Amino acid sequence: MNRARLTFLGTGTSQGVPIIGCRCEKCTSTDPRDKRFRSSVLVEYCGMTILVDAGPDFRSQMIAAGVTHLDAILLTHNHKDHTGGLDDVRALNYIDRKVVHIYCEDYVLNSLKTEYAYAFTREKYPGAPEWAVHRIGTEPFVIYPMDRNRDLVWVRNEGYRYQLEDGSLVPTDSEPDIAERVNDPCFSGGQKGAKCNGVEIIPIRGWHDTLPVLGFRFGDIAYLTDMSSLPEEELAKLRGLRHITLNTVGYRPHHSHFSLDQALELADRIGAENTWLTHLSHSFPVHAQFCEELDRLCRERSIRSRVRPAWDGLVIG
């Protein structure tokens, strides 16, 4: 099995940490591990670079991680702290000269069409982001390296055009509905009949209160965020993990996120070697104290997994 490498770009709640105007111990901590962008991760897997969620801190996260190329963006759900930075893929369109491939559920796509209507119009404003949106569900799906035979070319005052092999330029909306082409490997992988070298991603269905959300498994690493419940049948997809990420926002029960007790119980049931907590609020102690508390709780409850709070910039794999 190919091993994935995961970098936490953000580990905070929808407000981040520090919260604007807050003067609590966590929000004023000088430990960089207590500074949290909105939740997102970068996954390097089978030679591809994959982003999970692009929230309001997307620009800063990409710059901090030195990212110049993305093969895919996977969206867990449609909330702004997970989609609010998608306009900034414009920079990658320009630098990489490629359309950015986004994978999401139908309802998320419908939300994007409303919030970013200018990215879906037939005659785009010059400089609008260039996306290829692929519909996914709860079945495993395959992503492919970004198309190397279809460059974007910037035409002054007109916007992007595709450059074909013969050098001619065509509008980016000249393709049929690109959202229907997720099962066409030759569109994303190269010439018809060429080996596409795709990689399988396993979605994990969870619930964010009453909203369906997706987590994802990449080999022996799984990333789950913004969940308050996980259907029993999904646990089978999480066997044999080295690392899993679970969300928790505080000690008390929450309508749309796991409490700490719920996260620890789930960590024990899944039994991964390591469990990393994300989507953390300023309700928890500063990093060093929180690590000590988690050690104590795991000993008292005989939890098999090693549980730690993740932090921005942490790399696992």
pLDDT at position 174, please?
A: 52
Burial of 239 (0-12, 13-18, 19+ CB in 10 A): exposed
Phi-psi domain of 208 (left: phi exceeds 0; alpha: psi -120 through 50; beta: other): beta
pLDDT at 11 over 70: yes
Q: How many CB atoms lie within 10 A of CB 165?
A: 8
Place of tokens 């207590």: 34
pLDDT band at residue 297 using 50, 70 and 90 as cut-offs: very high
Q: What average pLDDT does the segment 265-286 reach?
A: 98
User: Which token pair is 148?
Assistant: 């190397």
pLDDT at 182 over 80: no
Query: pLDDT tens-digit profile of 205-244?
Result: 999 999 999 999 999 999 999 999 999 999 999 999 999 9
Cβ neighbours for 20, distance < 8 A, ≥ 6 positions apart = none
According to DSSP, the β-strands at 100-104 and 131-135 are parallel
- DSSP per position, 172-227: GGGSS-GGG-TT-HHHHHSSTTS----EEEEEEEEEETTEEEEEEEETTEEE--S-
For residues 223 and 41, the answer to whether their CB atoms sit within 8 Å is yes
For residues 246 and 278, the answer to whether their CB atoms sit within 8 Å is yes
pLDDT at position 144, please?
A: 86
For residues 155 and 123, the answer to whether their CB atoms sit within 8 Å is no
pLDDT at position 249, please?
A: 97
pLDDT at position 188, please?
A: 40
Q: How many CB atoms lie within 10 A of CB 126?
A: 12
User: Which token pair is 94?
Assistant: 């320009």
pLDDT at position 40, please?
A: 98
The strands making up 159-163's β-sheet, listed across from edge to edge, are 151-155, 159-163, 169-171
Virtual torsion, Cα 273, 246, 86, 254, nearest 10 deg: 180
Residues in a beta bridge with 101: 132
pLDDT at position 205, please?
A: 98
pLDDT band at residue 84 using 50, 70 and 90 as cut-offs: very high
Question: What average pLDDT does the structure give for the chain?
Answer: 91
Residues in a beta bridge with 74: 52, 103
pLDDT at position 147, please?
A: 63
Query: pLDDT tens-digit profile of 34-63?
Result: 999 999 999 999 999 999 999 999 999 999
Find the helix packing angle between 287-301 and 260-270, rounded to 10°: 60
Query: pLDDT tens-digit profile of 147-164?
Result: 655 789 999 888 998 888
For residues 267 and 235, the answer to whether their CB atoms sit within 8 Å is no
User: Which token pair is 298?
Assistant: 């795991």
For residues 172 and 185, the answer to whether their CB atoms sit within 8 Å is no
pLDDT at position 194, please?
A: 39
pLDDT band at residue 136 using 50, 70 and 90 as cut-offs: very high
